[in-house]
Structure 1
Amino acid sequence: MPNIACGKPVGAGGVGAVDVVALIGIGLLTGATTVLFGFGGGFVTVPVVVWADAALGADAMQVATATSALVMVVNAGFATAVTPRRVLLALRGSGTLLLLLAAGASAGALATRLAPADVARWGFVAYVALTIADVLLRPGFLHPGSRIEATSDAPRPLPTVLGAPAGAVAAFLGVGGSVMTVPAMRRAGHTMSVATALANPLTLAIALPATAVSLGGAAVPAAADAHLQLVGLIDLRAASALLLGALPVIAILRRRPPRIPDRTYAWAYIGLLVVVTVAMLLSA
Structure 2
Amino acid sequence: MNDVVLLGIGLLTGVTTVLFGFGGGFVAVPVLVWANAALGADAIRVATATSALVMLVNAGFATAVTPRRILRALRGSRALLLLLAAGAAAGALATRHAPAGQAHWGFVVYVALTIVDLLLRPGFLRRRGPAEASHGGRTEETRGARTEASRGVPRPLPAVLGAPIGALAAFLGVGGSVMTVPALRRAGHPMRVATALANPLTFAIALPATALSLCATGAGPLAADTHLRLVGLVDLRAAGALLVGALPVIAVLRRRPPRIPDRAYAWVYLALLGAVEAAMLLAG
Per-residue displacement from partner, 1:56-110 (whole Å, max 9, x unpaired)?
Answer: 1111100000000000000000000000000000001100000000000000000
SS class of match (1:259): coil
Which one-letter code corresponds to 2:159 in the other structure?
T
CA distance in 2, matches of 1:160, 1:92: 12
Residue of structure 2 aligned with 1:138, choices 118, 121, 139? 121
- Partner of residue 197, structure 2: 198
Residue of structure 2 aligned with 1:31, choices 14, 18, 21? 14
> Runs of 4 or more off by more than 4 Å in structure 1?
147-152
- Partner of residue 283, structure 1: 283
Per-residue displacement from partner, 1:33-53 (whole Å, max 9, x unpaired)?
Answer: 000000100000110110001
Which one-letter code corresponds to 1:230 in the other structure?
L
How big is the shift at 1:159? 1.5
Distance 1:100 1:41, change over 3 A: same
How big is the shift at 1:223? 0.4
CA distance in 1, matches of 2:237, 2:254: 26
Task: Report if aligned partners of 1:27, 1:243 keep a CA contact under 8 Å in 2.
Answer: yes
Report which of the two structures shows the higher radius of gyration computed on alpha carbons. 2
CA distance in 2, matches of 1:274, 1:154: 28
CA distance in 2, matches of 1:237, 1:151: 45
- Partner of residue 251, structure 2: 251
CA distance in 1, matches of 2:29, 2:126: 30
Residue of structure 2 aligned with 1:123, choices 101, 106, 122? 106
How big is the shift at 1:227? 2.7
SS class of match (1:225): coil
CA distance in 1, matches of 2:48, 2:152: 33
- Partner of residue 166, structure 2: 167
SS class of match (1:145): coil
- Partner of residue 154, structure 1: 154
CA distance in 2, matches of 1:247, 1:49: 18
Superposed, 1:55-134 pairs within 5 Å as 55-134=38-117
How big is the shift at 1:219? 3.0
CA distance in 2, matches of 1:104, 1:122: 20
Which one-letter code corresponds to 2:185 in the other structure?
R
Structure 1 unaligned runs (5+)? 1-14
Residue of structure 1 aligned with 2:26, choices 14, 21, 43? 43
Which one-letter code corresponds to 1:206 in the other structure?
I
How big is the shift at 1:228? 1.1
Q: TM-score under structure 2 normalisation? A: 0.91
Superposed, 1:198-237 pairs within 5 Å as 198-220=197-219, 221-237=221-237
Per-residue displacement from partner, 1:201-223 (whole Å, max 9, x unpaired)?
Answer: 00000000000000111133230
How big is the shift at 1:146? 3.1
SS class of match (2:276): helix
Task: Report if aligned partners of 2:129, 2:151 keep a CA contact under 8 Å in 1.
Answer: no
Per-residue displacement from partner, 1:131-165 (whole Å, max 9, x unpaired)?
Answer: 10111100100111234856763111x32111101
Among the aligned pairs, what percent are the same residue? Answer: 75
Task: Report if aligned partners of 1:89, 1:152 keep a CA contact under 8 Å in 2.
Answer: no
RMSD: 1.2
